[in-house]
Chain A
Amino acid sequence: MSSVNPSAYPDTGEKGAKRKAEWPLWEIFIRGQHGMSHRHVGSLHAPDAEMAIKNARDVYTRRNEGVSIWVVEARNITATTPGDKGPMFEPSQTKIYRHPTFYDIPDEIGHM
């Protein structure tokens, strides 16, 4: 028998009591062993930034994935909305001359 006592979970208040607000959501960025920049790996819940770092360490680096962790509270991220996709991104689809592949690279330059 497990000695865990399920009635003692912090989140379960008295019956009918209003459920407490969830901890805020944090977005987690990890720099890998050989990576140059931090990459978004996922999100998790934590009461504050310090605990978000600790939770990120335990959730996302347990298989030796990283050497540095950034956490950002999700509500502090300003993002594009999917509805703006047309005006935001489609105009660049036809501007192929913006790609460096449009230009001939002289042989003397070698590998770029």
Chain B
Amino acid sequence: MAVSKQQALLEFLLRMGDTSLILGHRMSEWCGHAPILEEDIALANTALDLIGQTQLWLGYAAEVQGEDKTADDLAFLRDAWDFRNLLLAELPNGDFGRTIMRKFLFDAFQSVLLGRLLTSTDTTVREIAEKASKEAAYHLERSADTVVALGDGTEESHDKMQAALDRLWPYVGEMFESDAYDAVLVKAGIAPDPASLRAEFDTLVTKVIRRATLDLPEDAFSHSGGRSGRMHTEHLGHLLTQMQWLQRAYPGNRW
């Protein structure tokens, strides 16, 4: 099947928007529950940044799709198999350490990716990347510092961060998968080949993980199926029942 440029762009925008949306929702689950007030507000800010980016990515996706839909339609009226987010984003938060480790791994990837998108041939993609990259730079600084503080903290916090890293590492590989859509995007100069981001990501992550006195897992096994939509984890459906509940129960309701 030949992929058109429009199909590839739509797929790319859904991947970007869905990952921001689902991770933003996960982060919002901490609102009112974080260990301290300051962290609570910081996590909620992060969640709001991600939801703000989602509005831009999915807003453009709806435009490219050309079916007279909005970002809200895409966020609240699709089912699990339509979502194109990374599996890493939909995993449950777990404890605070795992939440921060997941955020760090995502922030590292996102900051590398957004950096490349600043030179996209697509003006709207470039503009979204410019806005998002400033937010991503702060997110990365904050999550990396917290990973180091907890990893190189007490024996208990160290062990929890190592357990978090071991648990999440198998979901890192999916970020760098390339498929037919990516080939079209690369050719059109819209987005980089995800595989080409790996070296920069590894350098960045290795530096922080070493400072945190943690060990990177050696097993290269990787889960996949999120960004391709082939198979999500069982967690996504549960997340959607909560996130989409209002629009499902009261279709078209606005406030």
Question: Which residues of A does B touch, CB under 8 Å?
Answer: 1-6, 8-11, 23, 44-47, 50-51, 54-55, 57-59, 62
Distance to closest chain A CB from B221 (angstroms): 23
Within 8 A of A (CB), among B77-127: 92-97
Known: A45-B38, A55-B42. A4 touches B33 (CB 8 A): yes
A10 to B156, CA, bound (A): 9
The answer to whether the Cβ of B145 comes within 8 Å of any Cβ in the partner chain is yes
Question: Which residues of B does A touch, CB under 8 Å?
Answer: 26, 29-30, 33, 35-39, 41-42, 45, 92-97, 138, 141-142, 145, 149-150, 157, 160, 235, 238, 242
Q: Are B36 and A54 in contact, with the CB atoms below 8 A?
A: no
Distance to closest chain A CB from B122 (angstroms): 29
Measured CB to CB, the nearest residue on chain B to A8 is: B95
Q: Are A6 and B38 in contact, with the CB atoms below 8 A?
A: no
Contact with A10, one of B26, B30, B35, B42 (Cβ below 8 angstroms):
B35
Known: A5-B93, A50-B145. A58 touches B29 (CB 8 A): no
Measured CB to CB, the nearest residue on chain B to A56 is: B38
Q: Which residues of B contact A47 (CB under 8 A)?
A: 149
Contacts A51-B145, A51-B149 known; list 6 others, CB within 8 Å: A3-B26, A10-B150, A44-B37, A44-B38, A54-B141, A57-B138
Measured CB to CB, the nearest residue on chain A to B150 is: A10
Q: Which residues of A contact B97 (CB under 8 A)?
A: 8, 10
Chain B contact surface mostly: helix
Q: Are B30 and A4 in contact, with the CB atoms below 8 A?
A: yes
Q: Are B94 and A45 in contact, with the CB atoms below 8 A?
A: no
Q: Are B33 and A55 in contact, with the CB atoms below 8 A?
A: no
Q: Are A1 and B238 in contact, with the CB atoms below 8 A?
A: yes
Q: Which residues of A contact B41 (CB under 8 A)?
A: 58-59, 62
A73 to B160, CA, bound (A): 29
Contact with B94, one of A1, A5, A58 (Cβ below 8 angstroms):
A5
A100 to B242, CA, bound (A): 65
Q: Are A3 and B157 in contact, with the CB atoms below 8 A?
A: no
List 12 A–B pairs whose Cβ atoms lie within 8 Å, in order of A's numbering: A2-B33, A3-B29, A4-B29, A4-B33, A5-B94, A6-B33, A11-B35, A47-B149, A51-B145, A58-B41, A59-B38, A59-B41
Distance to closest chain B CB from A52 (angstroms): 9
Measured CB to CB, the nearest residue on chain A to B92 is: A3
Q: Which residues of A contact B238 (CB under 8 A)?
A: 1
Q: Are A8 and B94 in contact, with the CB atoms below 8 A?
A: yes
Known: A51-B145, A62-B45. A5 touches B38 (CB 8 A): no
Q: Which residues of B contact A4 (CB under 8 A)?
A: 29-30, 33, 93
Q: Are A46 and B38 in contact, with the CB atoms below 8 A?
A: yes
Distance to closest chain A CB from B141 (angstroms): 8
Distance to closest chain B CB from A90 (angstroms): 38
The 7 closest A-B pairs by CB, nearest first: A8-B95, A3-B92, A58-B42, A55-B38, A2-B29, A3-B93, A9-B35
A57 to B157, CA, bound (A): 25
